[in-house]
Every structure is written in structure tokens, then in C-alpha cells.
Amino acid sequence: MEKMKLTMEEIRDTEGKEYILRDTDRITIGRFTLLERNLGQKNMMIRLRFYKKDRILLREALRIMTRTFLKDGSIYKVNVLVADEVSTLPFTELGYTLEGILVGNRYENSLISNEYVFGTDQTRFNQLKEFKLLALDGERVHLSLASPEKAQDYLQYYMENREFLRPYEPQRSPEFYTLEGQRRSLDESFKQYMNGQAINFGVYLEGKLIGKVQLSNLVYGGLRSAHLGYALHRDFEGKGLMQDALQAVIQYADEELMLHRLEASTLLFNERSQKVLKKLGFNYVGKNEKYLYINGKWQDHYTFALILNG
């Protein structure tokens, strides 16, 4: 059911045709500018500005707009430029993919910022019934791609483990331990996923978030490698659950991503983590001095590596 009405009241500006988006109360919630429309190539480019920090409302506006653009068949491909602070999830939920980042492309209120380019086409948009985020299953745990709508799960996880995780992680600002802070953090990690830079999983046991696993610094070509990071809820240590989660991620990295090598590092005193890596077949590589900035200082780490194939 549509919860807003899309109006296209044309306004002339210096860039081209501009249209206002209004909700059912006739309140302006955004606007978009038609930058290019090529009927010969059957594509169009618009710049969207959305004023409400409401992911559901943005998704509904985007859905109605896209359906309107594609309904008569004269346009097959739609590209949308949007500010990089806008939530990316509504786009991916509707079948849009991130096609590029325009660095320093936007100037507003004396600030220069980036813009994201999202794109979809008639086939993808019309055939998409339900967007399912990447998920993996271990023997006992379920892993789900970290995304902004899971902010409440992550906030609870961090509040329950705030002191426990302090020696193992970077220093966090007070804003990090708020719902909005978690949404922003998850939105950033989701953008890294869409850019092919990192994949962040939440580890769930019977519906509760109990840990995290990350594949970061993804490199292909001649290296085909990634860094593996992970953390576990204090109440679930010693039960083999992280080993279960890591086995699922390693299998995914091997069979789906076709990576050649995974690298993982632990703090010198974290013997429990080192034992898990050794059980999974990681070999000790060496000691990296002042390797990561953890808990307010540069700290030494032991580094381990696992060869997956070839």
C-alpha cells in the first residue's frame, strides 16, 4: 500500500527540469532534477535530494519514482545520483546497484562532498520480488550481512559488551553507543560491501546477535586475498560458536569469492583467539609491531595466514 503520493510539479532551474516530492499531507519531502533523458538509448539520469531521515519513506518514494519512469517502456535504464550520506539500503532493496562514486561532485552550503550513482533497469526492477541480503549458515549459527535496519541488534550487542570489548577494539565515541550511531556505522559498512571493499557479517544464535565477522581489504587480481576479523559476545565464549561462524565464512571466501589467502591478526595476549585460528588451519606468520591502533594506542599483533586454494 502506498503511504505517500508522488507529485511531479515541474520547476525550472539552472540544471534542467526539477520536480517536487510531497507526502499525503502535501509536505515537501524531497525533489529530483532530470539531468539527462536519452530516448534513443532509452536511459535517464536524475539527481535526487531527500530531506527526511526516514528509510521507509525514501524507499517508497524511490519505488514510485522508478515505476513511473519505467512504466511506458520508453525508458529502460534509470540512474540516480544521491548524496553519500543518504541511506543506501532503500536502493538495494529495490534492485538498484551501486555503479560508481563521484568524488567531490557535490557543492552545497560551502561544503564539497561525494555522490553515489545507483542504477537499475526495467527487467531487474520488475522481476525483483524480495531483496535478500547475503546470509550464511554454520552448523549452529546463522550469519547475516550487516545492514542499517539491524541497528537495534548491534546497539544491544555493544551495550552488553562495552567494557568487555574495550581492550580489543578502537576507542569509541559516546555517539557510537546510540541507535543513530549504529545506523551510521552499519550504513558505512554496507557501502563498503557494495563497493567490494569489505563484507561484514553479524553472527546470530537463535535470533540474538552474538558476534561479528569481517572480510576486509578485499583484493583480487594477482593477490586474491582478504583480512579476517571477528569478535564474540562475552557470554558465548568457549562454546565453539565463533569457530563455527568462521568455518562458514572461510568456505564462502574459498568457494564463492575464490580467494587464495586469508590473513588474521590477534593481540599478543589473546590466546583464545590464536587457538581458534590454529584449529581452523591458520599458520603463524610473525609479529607485527605497532600494527593496529587499539584502545587508544598502537599495539603489537601476531599475524596468521590460511591458504585456501592454488
| pLDDT 10s digits, 239-295 | 999 999 999 999 999 988 899 999 999 999 999 999 999 999 999 999 999 999 999
**Average pLDDT rounded to a whole number, residues 117-129:** 78
Give the model's pLDDT for residue 14.
44
Give the model's pLDDT for residue 129.
46
CATH topology of domain 9-127: Aminopeptidase (3.40.630)
Give the model's pLDDT for residue 153.
95
| The three grid cell numbers given for residue 187, joined into one nine-digit string | 550504513
**Average pLDDT rounded to a whole number, residues 117-131:** 74
Length of the chain: 310
Give the residue, 38 or 111, on which the prediction is more confident: 38
Which among 225, 223, 222, 214 has a CA at the least distance from the CA of 186? 214
Give the model's pLDDT for residue 72.
86
97: Cβ–Cβ under 8 A, 6 or more apart, which residues? 118, 119, 120, 194
Domain with CATH 3.40.630.30 in the chain: 9-127, 135-307
Give the torsion through C-alpha atoms of 123, 256, 276, 199, to 10 deg. -40
Query: Residue 259: what residue type?
Result: L
Q: What are the distances in angstroms from CA 277 to CA 202, 210, 304?
A: 19, 19, 8
**Average pLDDT rounded to a whole number, residues 121-143:** 78
Largest separation between any pair of C-alpha atoms in the chain: 65
Q: Is the dihedral of CA 87, 64, 81, 123 positive or negative?
A: positive
CA distance 259 to 32: 41
Give the model's pLDDT for residue 3.
46
Give the model's pLDDT for residue 130.
45
* Confidence at 132, pLDDT banded by 50, 70, 90: low
What digits encode the pLDDT tens for the residues 84-104? Answer: 888 887 887 787 888 888 888
User: For residues 253 and 262, is the Cβ–Cβ distance under 8 A?
Assistant: yes
CA distance 154 to 182: 7
| The three grid cell numbers given for residue 29, joined into one nine-digit string | 519531502
Please check the confidence at residue 196 and state whether its pLDDT lies above 80. Answer: no
What digits encode the pLDDT tens for the residues 200-233? Answer: 999 999 999 999 999 999 988 888 999 999 999 9
* Confidence at 7, pLDDT banded by 50, 70, 90: low
User: For residues 301 and 266, is the Cβ–Cβ distance under 8 A?
Assistant: yes
What digits encode the pLDDT tens for the residues 31-81? Answer: 888 899 999 999 999 999 998 888 888 888 888 889 888 988 899 999 999
Give the model's pLDDT for residue 26.
81
CA 78 to chain centroid = 22
CA distance 256 to 36: 37
Give the residue, 241 or 18, on which the prediction is more confident: 241
Please check the confidence at residue 145 and state whether its pLDDT lies above 80. Answer: yes
What digits encode the pLDDT tens for the residues 151-194? Answer: 999 999 999 999 999 999 999 999 999 999 998 899 888 888 87
Please check the confidence at residue 16 and state whether its pLDDT lies above 70. Answer: no
Q: HEC states along the chain?
A: CCCCCCCCEEEECCCCEEEEEECCCCCEEEEEEEEEEECCCCEEEEEEEECCCCHHHHHHHHHHHHHHHHCCCCCCEEEEEEECCCCCHHHHHCCCEEEEEEEEEEEECCEEEEEEEEEEEHHHHHHCCCCCCCEEECCCCEEEECCHHHHHHHHHHHHHCHHHHHHHCCCCCHHHHCHHHHHHHHHHHHHHHHCCCCEEEEEEECCEEEEEEEEEEEECCCCCEEEEEEEECHHHCCCCHHHHHHHHHHHHHHHCCCCCEEEEEEECCCHHHHHHHHHCCCEEEEEEEEEEEECCEEEEEEEEEEECCC
Which among 4, 115, 12 has a CA at the least distance from the CA of 68? 4
What number does CATH give the domain 135-307?
Answer: 3.40.630.30
Entry pTM: 0.67
